[in-house]
Chain A
Amino acid sequence: MGFSADLFSTGTLSQLLVGLSRTTILFIVSSGMSLILGVLRIPNVAHGSLYMIGAFAAWTVIQFLGGGLFAFLAAMIVAPMIVAAVGFVLERGFFSYLYDREHLMLLLLTFAFMLILGDLVKIVWGPEYRSVTVPAFFQGSAEIFGLPLPWYNLFLLLVGPCIAVFLWLVINRTNVGKIARAAAVDGEMVGAVGINVGWVFAFTFVLGSFLAGLGGALIAPMVNISLGMDHSLIMETFLIVIIGGLGNMWGALLGSLIFGLTQSLGILVWPQFGIAFPYLAVVAVLVARPRGLLRSTW
């Protein structure tokens, strides 16, 4: 099992593409977290729970509409909106009263919500495994140098850049995005010029929650939807946001790329210890640039 022989084999390209499609989900979820962290300064531990709700909600929508491509596409829109609604309630009902408190207080509150939302999911959907089928349109796989790349992964490769462009437009080309960026730097000043900062914060939290829900809905056809799927993801998401630079959207993209690609290439060169590679990359980044790769808004 020579290292170099494996790295330059035909398998490398397909491994890269698979890694990129994984990056898509990581980017969608971590960009939402980064947004909330950057503008609202909330280290939202419950972000993973929102992702889990997105997956369960997608299952419900697809069941309700009886499956098929239409039901799938509907679920990709409705499920994130349900999660966004949950986010709206959380922000207006709880977080909006606590912005002037310490980060530690906010962190504790989000931790409480992680536990509460986890139990709510159990009450609403029960403890059984749920499974969503990939719609017939995306079933099967393309051949790349004789190795399979599922159509659904290719679909994810298309979705990723779309979301990135959409976020760039919202943040750079809309008023609310510009205000949100300004509020991230100095919320008090933005308020002083007569802008209702509270609603900008609510918008940001809802957008972040929507992204978490979208990530959950997109991953639903690939996995067994189950309680606890939030835990493994929240770890990875935090690491991505930290190495990218707290609150920096493009940092989240860069972090996701590093995480997704080191993992898939790690599996290629050393399958026995593939899981270690992304974490080694995180350590390397933190040693070289302790404040993250890109400029942090903190």
Chain B
Amino acid sequence: MRKAVSFLAVAVWTTCMVGSGVAGDTVKVGFVDTYTGPATTFTNDVLDGFKLAAEKINAKGGVLGRKIEYVTRDDKFKPDIGLTMAKELILKENVDILMGTINSATALAVSDLSRKEKIPFLVTFSKSDKITGSMGHRYVFSMNENTEMAGRATAKALSKKPFVKYWIAGDDYEYGHAIASGVFNHLKTLNPKVQLLGESWWKVGETDFTPYITRILSAKPDFVIVATGGAGMVNFQKAAQSTGFNRKVPFYQHTAIELSTLMPQGQNAPEGVYGTANYLFYYPDTKANKTFVDEFRKAYNRYPKSGALYGYMAARFIAESFEKAGKVDREKFIDAMEGMTLDSPVGKMEMRKCDHQVALPMFFGVTKKSPQYDFLIAGDVLSVPGKDYMPTCEETLKARAK
């Protein structure tokens, strides 16, 4: 009996080895991200964008003659599960590259693992500035903007506006404080005349914003910076619409102009809300963007959101870097990716060498109705180029040295 068991074990082991040998003929990308719960509104777009680019690359013969293959794991929005899943992807699936995740705590945990295991990790959607900032390292890359960058981009756009008296408000957790204080502090350095009237903080998941809004209105600020995330984006806009807040005092929310915020509200979203986003399917009105939107809609029958751009470009960066490296080698891959610039649907995108933070434009706009769509879109769009709102290399390296 015991012999039979050990024979079986050997047989299984050999089959596994052969299996992994076959996997070696592909470039394998492992996703660990949140695929259940409300966050899927954002994460499914990353995966679909990635698939779209990978299929195109594979149709043209793949990377160095190998097909791009991917596997996914659900972290259920929990850092401990995410870390376990990332380990499994490395040990069992033998992935060449790791990607994900929308949860910042998970992203930082997996980033630490990628450093120890020396495996490149391309972060999509997590907005913590620690990823490429104070906790950055050789093996981690960020494919999107972060709270620090959103703060700087918005401050830059707002510094040209005549508003003086500001109020800041938001979800009482790291993301809320990082965005709201980030915008105001940078604004203060750009325009020393601005003053802070007061602040309001509510618990994450707050449903009724009316008492906060009436309180803010009674203080009569010129402009309000609101930092909400997830479901709070729509909740706050609904309260703004019913109180007429947006018609009395202009306010700003990061991602207020994104499709994920505006589409569920249809024609009833508030007009005149200032917001920033990395991607708008109708802007810039270029051939590259139109082609991307058409391809995405043909494949998935919906408009692409920011996540689609992150996923799509991540696949392209992976393919181009391996081509440039000349072989599937992780260290050579990183060297090749550093400083690489690619054309994207929104213009040039550069992977900065010093901190592995992608440089991409930020769009600043105001919500307005449109005859073309049955939801609101962004008008008066101002494009802030990536290099204008990123921390400098010196600032990043100083943060890492601490």
Contacts and interface: CB of A to CB of B under 8 A. Distances in A.
A60 interface: no
Contacts of B265: 131, 133
Given A127-B40, A275-B201, A275-B202, A224 B235 contact: yes
B2 interface: no
A130 B264 contact: yes
B242 interface: yes
Interface in B268-282: 268
A14 B214 CA distance: 7
A225 to B, nearest CB: 9
Nearest to A131: B264
A18 B214 contact: yes
A271 B199 contact: yes
Interface stretch (B92-100, B115-123, B204-212): B204-212
B256 interface: no
Contacts of A147: 214, 217-218
A137 B216 CA distance: 26
Interface residues of A, number: 51
A131 B38 contact: no
Interface string B237-256: 01100111100100000000
Nearest to A132: B238
Contacts of A163: none
A232 B40 CA distance: 21
B41 A128 contact: yes
Nearest to B203: A275
Interface stretch (A89-97, A170-178, A260-268): A260-268
A10 B218 CA distance: 8
Interface size class of B (residues with CB under 8 A): 35 or more
B243 A141 contact: yes
Contacts of B215: 11, 15, 267-268, 271, 274
Interface string A98-137: 0000000000000000000000001000011111011000
Given A232-B206, A264-B211, 17 more contacts: A6-B218, A22-B210, A128-B38, A129-B38, A133-B266, A147-B217, A148-B243, A148-B244, A149-B214, A222-B210, A222-B238, A224-B238, A228-B205, A229-B205, A268-B211, A274-B202, A274-B212
Interface of B: 36-38, 40-41, 169, 172, 198-203, 205-208, 210-218, 231-235, 238-239, 242-245, 248, 264-266, 268
Q: Which 7 A-B pairs have the closest CB atoms?
A: A11-B218, A271-B200, A264-B211, A150-B242, A224-B234, A223-B207, A131-B264
